[in-house]
Amino acid sequence: MEREMRHPFKVVIVTGVPGVGKTTVLNHLEKLAGERGLKVRIVNFGTYMLETALREGLVSHRDEMRKLPLRKQLELQALAARRIIEDAAGSLGEDGFLLIDTHALVKTVAGYWPGLPKHVLDELKPDMIAVIEASPEEIAARQARDKSRVRSDIGGAEGAARLMEYARAAAFASAVHYASTVAVVENREGKAEEAARNLLELITRL
């Protein structure tokens, strides 16, 4: 039997290395979409994982999740993907856009780990995987400035450059399963709104 390739609403997965500015760009996009009367729902994959991890007493904050045993992260990942779609199905119709703030690759204590493996994609069925990028130096500077998060083991500009290269490859690998487009969007210094405008333009063409 032919498998379902899409949800009724459009699904856009937004990836990028920690601190590149995914959440900032998506905040701008939500405002711009509202001005154009577009129905968007923006969710953070890590927040869905965190809800369960906190309830089970596994972590005290979100940056600890990628240090959990991989089998546990796998469980949290599967549950998050399922819940994200269940929640969106209740609020979005055919004209809606679900944007999921997440990672194509997670740097764990046991190696690089795919944020969008097949079992996650089977739930999300993405129309697009967007990769938010900036220069490694800008990313390192943003990570250092943002005191609300612990990203010290990413490894500065050199680490960000390596992770960005691997994460882009992981995004393309994930795109194969559900014939998703891959859109690389630059989030230049002081230009987060411009990045949001560019991303919004791309998703309205899906």
Task: Give the binding site for ligand AP5 (CB under 6 A).
Answer: 16, 18-24, 44-46, 49, 62, 65-66, 73, 77, 101-103, 106, 115-116, 142, 145-146, 149, 151, 187, 189-192
Residue 161 token pair: 């450059």
Q: How far is the CB of 34 from ligand AP5 (least distance, A)?
A: 19
Q: Which is nearer to ligand AP5, 26 or 92 (CB)?
A: 26
In the complex, least distance from residue 93 CB atom to ligand AP5, rounded to whole angstroms:
25
State which residue, 91 or 149, has the beta carbon closest to ligand AP5.
149
Nearer to ligand AP5, 151 or 168 (CB): 151
Sign of CA dihedral 52, 66, 86, 31: positive
User: Does residue 139 contact residue 196 with C-beta atoms inside 8 Å?
Assistant: no
| The pairing of beta strand 10-15 with beta strand 96-101 | parallel
For the bound state, the minimum distance from the C-beta of residue 95 to ligand AP5, rounded and expressed in Å, comes to: 26
* AA identity, residue 82: R
CA-CA distance, 8 to 60, in Å (whole number)?
Answer: 36
Q: How far apart are CA 24 and CA 86, in angstroms?
A: 25
Nearer residue to ligand AP5 within complex by CB, 2 or 45:
45
Shortest approach of ligand AP5 to residue 141 CB, angstroms?
A: 8
Q: How far is the CB of 166 from ligand AP5 (least distance, A)?
A: 14
- Contact between 99 and 41 (Cβ < 8 Å): yes
Q: Of 16 and 95, which has the nearer Cβ to ligand AP5?
A: 16
Those residues whose C-beta lies under 8 Å from the C-beta of residue 20, and which sit 6 or more positions away, are 132, 133, 134, 139, 142, 164, 187
DSSP code at position 99: E
